[in-house]
Structure 1
Amino acid sequence: MKLSVVIVNYNVKYYVEQCLKSLQRSLATVDAEVFVMDNHSRDGSVDYLASRFPWVKIVRLNHNLGFAKANNKAITMSHGEYVLLLNPDTVLSETLIPRVLSFMDTHPRAGASGVWMMDASGENAKESRRGIPTPMTSFYKLSGLCSCFPHHPRIGKYYMCAHPWDQAEQIEIVSGAFCMLRRRALEDVGLLDEDFFMYGEDIDLSYRILKAGWENWYLPYKMLHYKGESTEKSSFRYVHVFYEAMLIFYRKHFRHFNILVNIPVQTAICVKAFQALVSMQLHKMRKSLGFVTPSVRRDPLFVAFVSASSQSVCEDIITFNGLNAEVHVVSQWNEVQKIVSDILMSHLSPLYIVFDTQQCSYQKVFDLVNSQPSQCLVGWLDADAQLIITSKDVFTSDSAHT
């Protein structure tokens, strides 16, 4: 078997559904198996997904084991020459996986590879390629200098912003949102470190792969990552787990550094965690008191491009949810491009462009929104599931509730 794909789910069944539908297209010519490891979800994920994707191996876990342990369980059950760790809040292009596998086949020292990730607004996701968070790199990141000088080869190394996006190159850290791994490399360095519950395990694994003499690569093939829809970021638990992972990595790999270096970096991590927690609580307080930003007050416009067969489903969803929307029935991609161009010139944000998954090519959508980033947000119409899904919301129809 060529490939084993592992997706860890926790209460995001609709996002997993869209991920699997795009994955199915990308795997059309690949001998593969797919695992969905359900971390004790309470939204009916297992039954919902099992009834719609009988070709997927869905494993129901009795407890929330975290990202690393759930992935490791699937890896030990899998048989592929390669293992792909894939976040549930991702959407892949039709040719993405075959192109990545082709690269891995022709580069035998490539232990892991990642790809060009975009967020829902078409912006390039900086975490697509990163540098090892050494003490100095961590200092530049935590102090804010990395943000001030993103293209500096040393100060901005954490996100490697000085490097071109359209060229394949060796990098240091591959994101766990899409991490293609050679099984022989995994056998050499070991599985994910289960001390990391949800964050940092990709950094740790990437670093171990490099230390063992393998290569990590960035490949310029586009995909969409909603970036965090699969996790709840507005809780103390998130802040605790995220910054604890930073401390675990630092203590594991850089404990030998001089105390004059260790103490400032570890203190900075704790300070950043405290600042994040305070900021989160202030935001909750403002929201509870009714103070909202102007962008929240404005009613977003949803512009949907659908086929004739999907039109009635789309209109039902719009009516049921009271959305401010316009629907365009199109048959040619150049029609979509022209209308989108006209709308972007005349409409202020917030704006959602909704694409019919039965009609549109994922690759064409990615290229379109990436060519005009931050001007709109991508959404998908899934007529079969009777829903419109965006990075923030899932809208269903009246019939979906009956």
Structure 2
Amino acid sequence: MQLSVIILNYNVRYFLEQCVLSVQEAITALEAEIIVVDNNSTDDSCLMMQQRFPGVKLIQNKENFGFPKGNNIGVSEAKGKYICILNPDTVVAEDTFIKILAFAERQENLGIIGCKLIDGTGNFLPESKRGIPTPWVASTKVFGLYKLFPKWKLFNQYYAQHLNDNETGKVEILVGAFMLMERDLYKQLQGFDEDCFMYADDIDLSYRALQKQKSNYYFHETTVLHYKGESTVKDEKYMKRFQEAMNFFYMKHFRKSWFFSAFIRIGIMIFSFIKMFQGKPNAKPVPESYIFYSSNKILSEKLPVILKNKVRFLDFKKEKMVNSCLILGGDKGEIILDNHYVSFKKCIKIIETLKDKRITFKIFPKNANFIIGSDSRNDRGQIVKIK
């Protein structure tokens, strides 16, 4: 078997459904399997999986074991030469795995591969490629020096700014939302460190791959949509675990000293405060207009009633997608992409190409009864049920 895709879920039932749909489309030409591990969700994620995807292997944990152990459980059941650790709040393109596996087969001494990630508004997620967060590198992030001096190598290591967003190359640290590697390497590394509940596990795994003299890569030739913030509500418990995770990584891999510990403690407090501030949801303005990008005329008649607003219908077979400002006439609006007629790859491309502060995006997944998306990388997404 070529590939095993491991999806660890916790209470994101609708995002999980869309994710599995996109992965199914992406593995049709491969010998591959999907393994969903549920960390004791209290929503109907497991029931949905059983009814909607009876052929997908589902592992139901009796408690929330956290990110590392949950993924380790999934990988223990995997049979593929390669494994992909994938967040449930992601959407992959139909050719994502074909492209990335072809790249992997060409590499020697391969470590972990990550890919280009964008959020639900189409903006690039800089954590797609990162450097080792040493005390100095972490400080450039905490104090925003990487933004002030983006062309200075001394200050731009946290987000691996030596590589352009659209440039494939070696990096040190990758993000756990999408990590592809050989299953044998994962076993050599003994998987994610279960002493870390979450948040530093991907940094730790990437770093240990480097210690094995492996090469980690950022691969830009496929884009994956990551509704960042959906899997975790950034509350006080999140802040506590984030601090514990950063302490875990530094204490594990760097020599301990009072100065170092004090510096990291101050840095974590500042960074956690910023995260907490970013994580507070803002009031979302109701879109002034909607565009339904589809050929489904029946649904286009239902949507104005459901959304309580006028919906303009664009038949993708007859009209080309143009600049969002022209489509929406400069209004604050929302574009709804019908996956029944528009591939996941094209949905991702449209969101990435038409990104605009005035525009939000939703996807109507194939054979689903909901519209889904996210207006911000810092809070939970939005779901509109279609009856």
Q: TM-score of the superposition, structure 1-length normalised? A: 0.88
Which residue of structure 2 lines up, in the alignment, with residue 288 of structure 1? none
| Deviating more after overlay: 160-169 vs 216-225 | 160-169
Contact 1:135 1:262 in 2 (8 A): no
Give the structure 2 partner of residue 287 of structure 1.
none
User: 1:161-204 CA distances to partner (integer Å, 9 max, x unpaired)?
Assistant: 34212221000011111100112222222210112212110000
Cα 1:224/1:274, change in 2 over 3 Å: closer
Counterpart amino acid of residue 322 in structure 1: K
Q: Larger % of helix: which?
A: 1
Runs of 4+ residues deviating >4 angstroms: 274-277
In 2, Cα distance between the equivalents of 1:363 and 1:59? Answer: 28
Q: What amino acid sits opposite 2:67 in the alignment?
A: F
Determine if the alignment matches structure 1 residue 343 to structure 2 residue 342. no
Cα distance change of structure 1 residues 154 and 74 upon mapping to structure 2, 3 Å threshold: same
Deviating more after overlay: 49-58 vs 161-170: 161-170
1:314 Cα deviation from its structure 2 partner:
4.7
Q: What is the CA–CA distance in structure 2 between the aligned matches of 1:237 and 1:198, rounded to whole Å?
A: 12
Distance 1:325 1:317, change over 3 A: closer
Q: In 2 relative to 1, CA 358–299 (structure 1 residues): closer, same or farther, beyond 3 Å?
A: closer
> What is the aligned partner in structure 1 of residue 299 from structure 2?
313
Alpha-carbon deviations, 1:252-291, whole Å to 9, x = none?
Answer: 111x1553333212222134335655x489x58xxxxxxx
- 1:226 deviates by 0.8
CA gap 1:297/1:77 in 2 versus in 1, 3 angstroms: closer
* C-alpha contact (below 8 Å) 2:339/2:347 kept by paired residues: no
Find the residue that maps to 2:101 and give its secondary structure: helix
| Separation (CA, whole Å) in 2 of partners of 1:298 and 1:230 | 24
Conserved 8 A contact 2:189-2:209: yes
Q: 1:199–1:245: 8 Å Cα contact kept in structure 2?
A: yes
Question: Aligned letter for 1:225?
Answer: H
260-269 or 86-95, which deviates more: 260-269
Q: Does 1:327 align with 2:316?
A: no
Equivalent residue for 1:46?
46
* Matching residue of 2:73: 73
Q: 1:177 to 1:218 in 2, by over 3 A?
A: same
- 1:16 deviates by 0.8
The structural deviation recorded for 1:92 is 0.7
C-alpha distance after superposition, 1:317-354 (max 9, x if no partner): 5413424532323324xx2413746225x2233x3211
Checking the alignment, whether the CA contact within 8 Å between 2:324 and 2:354 is kept in structure 1 is no
The answer to whether structure 1 residue 301 and structure 2 residue 289 are counterparts is yes
Q: Distance in 1 between matches of 2:265 and 2:175?
A: 23
How far off is 1:100 after superposition?
0.6
SS at match of 1:338: coil
- Range moving further from structure 2, 110-119 or 382-391: 382-391
Q: Superposed, which structure 2 residues align to 1:123-162 within 5 Å?
A: 123-162=123-162
Aligned to 2:178: 178
**In the alignment, which residue of structure 2 is the partner of 1:232?**
233
Question: Offset at 1:145?
Answer: 1.6
Aligned positions of 1:282-297 closer than 5 A: 296-297=284-285
For residue 374 of structure 1, the aligned residue among 356, 362, 371 is 356
Report SS of the residue matched to 1:337.
Answer: coil
Q: Give distance in 1, aligned partners of 2:226 and 2:27.
A: 18
Unaligned runs of 5+ in 1: 285-291
Report the secondary structure of 2:136's partner residue.
Answer: helix
Instruction: Compute the TM-score of the two structures, normalised by the length of structure 2.
Output: 0.91
Q: Report the 3-state secondary structure (helix = DSSP H, G, I; strand = E; otherwise coil) of the residue aligned with 1:262.
A: helix
Structure 2 equivalent of residue 187 of structure 1: 187
Q: Decide which of 332, 336, 348 is 1:354's aligned counterpart.
A: 336
Matched pairs, number: 379
CA contact (8 A) 1:299 1:324 kept: no
Contact 2:137–2:155 under 8 Å retained in 1? yes
Cα distance per residue 1:350-383 (max 9 Å; x no partner): x321111111122233333323433423211136
Whether the aligned pair in 2 keeps the contact of 1:185 and 1:214 (CA below 8 Å) is no
Is 268-277 or 149-158 further displaced after alignment? 268-277
Matched-pair contact (CA < 8 Å) for 1:388–1:394: yes
SS where residue 94 of structure 2 aligns? coil
Compared CA separation, residues 61 and 257, structure 1 to 2 (3 A)? closer
Aligned-partner residue type, residue 316 of structure 1: K
Q: 1:220-261, CA deviations, whole angstroms, 9 ceiling, x for partnerless residues?
A: 12111111212212x21111112221111111111x155333
Further displaced range: 121-130 or 310-319 = 310-319
SS at match of 1:58: strand
Instruction: Tell me how far 1:297 sits from its aligned partner.
Output: 4.1
Q: Give, as a single letter, the amino acid of the residue that structure 1 aligns with 2:338.
A: D
| Corresponding residue for residue 164 of structure 1 | 164
